Amino acid sequence: MANQIVLLATIIAMTCSLVIAFEPSPLQDFCIADTTSSVIRVNGLPCLDSKLAQAEHFSFGGLHIPGNTSNPLGITVTPVNVAQIPGLNTLGISLARIDYAPGGVTPPHTHPRATEILTVVKGKLYVGFVTSNPENKLISKIIKKGDVFVFPVGLVHFQKNLGSGTAISQSSLSSQNPGVITIANSVFGPNPSISDDVLAKAFQVDKSIISTLQAQF
């Protein structure tokens, strides 16, 4: 009997942890983000009075505009989250357009609050993600126009344009504000810097290499 109680408690705990790992379901039709409010909320932004709702709170008109890829990475991300569409507040979804120059790379990064499903609109991409410890397995594929690929929540992933021309993809993310943690920026570019002693030990390289990498960020 005691073992059955322990098993039941374990199952309940696991179920609850899965439920709270994602954004909660809204308790109203919508909650337009009130960006002028100074009230701090744990989840989402304060709600504008629903009587003030307008179509503009639920639309965005810039996703057709090509992004400027004249940068070292050769990519530009056009986000469509709660900052662009206040009506997304509490609804748990967002979009992003990514433009790639030839050879452009979206560097390894994670979205701590969202699973991403990417659709190739134009061109050919090499995409992939890495599973968590201890396997650290690379799951990757070359995808082309009309193909779809999924990046599970929190896992490190990347994209690269393999074509000789520009490429475009569009992503849907399971959060109104998925967040982005770019691995290189986080490790080599925080303010203040992570100690080069720590990084040299972690990467098993000389401190001079760490200093060179930190200088890039």
Q: In this predicted structure, what is the pLDDT of residue 18? A: 38
β-pairing verdict for 105-110 and 138-144: unpaired
Higher-pLDDT residue of 217 and 151 is 151
What CATH topology corresponds to 1-179? Jelly Rolls (2.60.120)
d(CA 47, CA 31): 5
Residue 176 sits at φ, ψ, to 5 deg, of -70, -20
Check residues 143 and 1 and name the one with the higher pLDDT.
143
The edge-to-edge listing of strands for the beta sheet with 124-130 is 138-144, 124-130, 157-161, 105-110, 181-182
What residues does each domain of the chain span?
1-179, 180-217
Task: Round to whole Å and give the CA distance between 186 and 80.
Answer: 23
118-170 residue pLDDT tens: 999 999 999 999 999 999 999 999 999 999 999 999 999 999 999 999 999 99
Cβ neighbours for 57, distance < 8 A, ≥ 6 positions apart:
32, 48, 85, 86, 87
Does 84 score more than 60 pLDDT? Answer: yes
How buried is residue 115: exposed, middle or buried, by Cβ count under 10 Å (0-12/13-18/19+)?
middle
For residue 29, the model assigns a pLDDT of 82
